[in-house]
Amino acid sequence: VVVSVTNDQPRLLVVGENEISGGRGDSANASLTGGDALPYGPFDPTQHRTLESGLRAWVSEQTELDLGYVEQLYTFGDRGRDPRERQGGPRLVSVGYLALVSETVSVPASNAKSNATSNATWQNWYHFLPWEDWREGAPLILERVIEPHLSAWAEEGESEFERDTRHERIDLAFGFTTNSWNEKLVLERYELLYEAGFVQESLRDRGCPIALESDRAARGRAMLFDHRRIAATALGRLRGKIEYRPVIFELMAGEFTLLQLQRAVEALAGTRLHKQNFRRLVEKGGLVEPTGRFESQTGGRPAEQFRFRRDVLLERLAPGVKLPGRRHTT
Amino acid sequence: VVVSVTNDQPRLLVVGENEISGGRGDSANASLTGGDALPYGPFDPTQHRTLESGLRAWVSEQTELDLGYVEQLYTFGDRGRDPRERQGGPRLVSVGYLALVSETVSVPASNAKSNATSNATWQNWYHFLPWEDWREGAPLILERVIEPHLSAWAEEGESEFERDTRHERIDLAFGFTTNSWNEKLVLERYELLYEAGFVQESLRDRGCPIALESDRAARGRAMLFDHRRIAATALGRLRGKIEYRPVIFELMAGEFTLLQLQRAVEALAGTRLHKQNFRRLVEKGGLVEPTGRFESQTGGRPAEQFRFRRDVLLERLAPGVKLPGRRHTT
DNA sequence: CTATTAATACTCAATTTGAGCATTAATAGA
DNA sequence: TCTATTAATGCTCAAATTGAGTATTAATAG
């Protein structure tokens, strides 16, 4: 999951429209077009000393990108991840990694090195998980489309216990009745939507041939295999990590204004923050130092430019950027 | 990494003294006895739908234990994890899991089901990582043995830059000069000790035949392969998780006094806590409810017994047990 | 010259945290 | 029975952190 932030949007490196080769004319045929895919590839143990070095080599082979920060995300090994298993394909186990790429480095990856299969592009993360972006307030689709769908699904439960459990899970993840949104529960929300048959992948994986045509925007774009689940795992993890490690700076250019920094955090967190308090935390935390230069194309008063104080990584356990109370006011 | 807490000690399920079959009479021979091992086994994709279900089945096959809480830890795939690779053995990739077992359930696993290879026992976690237990104050070995060893190693760096970097890493992880201990940096500390040649595994992996006889207690018990690193990963992860998820209750019996709960947290965190503040946090967090029963074998005033309020898991995102300031006073 | 967009400085109340004192209720041993 | 000991439990208080502003300053676009 290769991430960057440009134009105040979180972006994912995506290798477009994949064809799954495999089944020939059987019922699973409807699912052969997997949609966008996360970049993935085989690991060759004879070539690479570690999983991470294999990943880095593979990415720089496929794209122009040089990954900076990389961390292991999760290992996915459920049966049926790759529908070709049904046609006797091998059981794939994928070790997912999260990689952060700085804004300046992020060359559009389409100029891949002489590799026909690689047509990678940067896509807005929220195209795949549209309900996760609360920066302009609660997304309308939540109340209009998602809540009714999930409620109906909860009521379909066999037993009263199951119905109750479903309602509780929904409420915890989406906060409909408590009116509270926890931006970190990305995976929990995706899993509910998958179970409830709201996202295309769940129908596809059940071998259901019908594509969901209504509310396409609300359902988000489908991805190959379980890649959308992996993308959700990554977003949840990153939203958590931002708060306790200074990973946000891996996504910034070398110099930035505090508002630019705030916008990047907001883009990933999917919420707006209180500006003054955000500054207080960042500056008090000793995470940045002023460069003395000013950015004057701000459209307002020029903002001082800052850089990340890399030394804090050594001085102490650098704390990351707390989300200072999601802004409820101006 | 199967964990429980008994008698105020964190314990690990360990399958004793493993013989690594493989090399015959070459220089690597000295390393053939791997020491204690974490329970591990193969994953059979034809038998199991998910990695986790494979793990559960395998553990209940090998031991009497029924795992409760299970979470994926990390996937280990570095070259050389298994020294038999050098003799043409396969490259192993291990998906590590952390499992928590409640005190009452934790039948000593030695009565394994008709399985000759399994002679599992519960071992004190700190036998393997003795420098991590600060409950009786800073371990003496830190100042007496570890600090000198690490300093010497730092000074052996080739360049000034490398020496500086080493000193800074040491200081961040162990807090020698800042006099601050971050209990979560377990893996960072283990890695430094490994790099510095302090733990037996690092000499073993370099093919060095000499066993470290001096300061055996300070070095902790060695484990098979990279299992001690895995154990360190698990301890760091668990110490973090306790604070933001109510996982500690997975390790408790159904009913417990608040002091018992505190002792369990302290056992894992490796620090002492301020009793009154601990109670305040637990009770205010709504994590427990009184049963009305009292435990009178406390040696003092009888303590009320509590149970975990499982409902909090559904009501809201239950917060876990913050470590209320490591106690500096009485 | 003015409206607009931000940056930046400062305030203030509510909460949370760290540390401790005091009181109560049992048990073990003299 | 009396006393020392071990804990549980109740309560206080100051310091630090957080949430939510107000006010002021400095640019640009039209």
Mean pLDDT of B23-38: 55
Contacts of A48 in chain B (CB under 8 A): 79
Query: DSSP of B196-250, one letter per residue?
Result: TT-SHHHHHHTT------TTHHHH---BSTTHHHHHHHHHHHHHHHHHHS-GGGG
With left for phi above 0 and alpha for psi between -120 and 50, is residue B249 left, alpha or beta?
A: alpha
DSSP state of A137: B
Q: Which pLDDT value is given to residue A112? A: 43
Task: Please choose, from the candidates A92, A101, A106, A111, the residue with its C-alpha nearest in 3D space to the C-alpha of residue A1.
Answer: A101
C-alpha distances out from residue B162 to B84, B87, B153, B168, Å: 32, 33, 11, 10
Strand nucleotide closest to residue B279 (CA to C1'): D9
Contact flag B79-A172 (C-beta cutoff 8 Å):
no
The SS3 of residue A21 is: coil
Given a contact cutoff of 8 angstroms between Cβ atoms, the answer to whether A196 and A149 are in contact is yes
pLDDT in tens, A71-114: 999 999 999 998 888 888 999 999 999 999 986 654 544 444 44
Is A283's CB less than 7 Å from nucleic acid strand C? Answer: no
How far apart are alpha carbons A118 and A42 in whole angstroms?
Answer: 14
Percent of residues, chain A, with pLDDT higher than 70: 83
Residues 291-310/A with CB within 7 Å of nucleic chain C are 298-304
Percent of residues, chain A, with pLDDT higher than 90: 55
Q: Which pLDDT value is given to residue A152? A: 97
Q: pLDDT tier at B209 (50, 70, 90 boundaries)? A: confident
pLDDT in tens, A208-261: 877 667 888 999 999 999 999 999 999 999 999 998 888 999 999 999 999 999
Task: Please choose, from the candidates B136, B296, B318, B125, the residue with its C-alpha nearest in 3D space to the C-alpha of residue B223.
Answer: B125
Given a contact cutoff of 8 angstroms between Cβ atoms, the answer to whether B49 and B73 are in contact is no
Find the helix or strand (DSSP H, E) in which B29 lies: none
How open is the CA angle B281-B284-B290, to the nearest 5 degrees? 105
Strand nucleotide closest to residue A283 (CA to C1'): C8
How open is the CA angle B12-B13-B17, to the nearest 5 degrees? 110
Tell me the whole-structure pTM to 2 decimals.
0.89
pLDDT in tens, B57-103: 998 888 888 888 999 999 999 998 988 888 889 999 999 999 999 86
The SS3 of residue B32 is: coil
Task: Please choose, from the candidates A201, A216, A197, the residue with its C-alpha nearest in 3D space to the C-alpha of residue A150.
Answer: A197
Pairing verdict, β B303-308 and B94-100: unpaired
Of A57-66, B19-28, B143-152, least confident by mean pLDDT is B19-28
Residue B284 Cα, gap to closest chain A Cα (Å): 19
Beta bridge partners of B70: B99
C-alpha distances out from residue B289 to A43, A172, B79, B244, Å: 50, 21, 49, 19
Q: Which residue's structure tokens are 């301020």?
A: B274
Q: Which pLDDT value is given to residue A206? A: 87
